[in-house]
Structure 1
């Protein structure tokens, strides 16, 4: 049940951040897809930090 609440919240945050930081469509899609992988969001965040993207 908690996953059913947290995943839509993750997507809403992803949309807000992508819009606010003017992300490309590719980066937004990658952010969406890693949400389906176990611990994918942690890998995506580490990748963004390594590249210096916000």
Structure 2
């Protein structure tokens, strides 16, 4: 079942779905030097937790 974008909570704030183009784009806006593919790769490497992804992107 698809995620209801209107029903958001804390878990939605701290996780990133690599299959959701809007979430990948949001991270791309924070890290414009990174490509969308690099961001998807970072999500795959660091896991779904937003802070882990940000730390990973800052380190690479």
TM-score band (shorter)? 0.3 to 0.5
More relative contact order, 1 or 2 (CA 8 Å, 6+ apart): 2
Structure with bigger helix share is: 1
TM-score by length of 2: 0.36
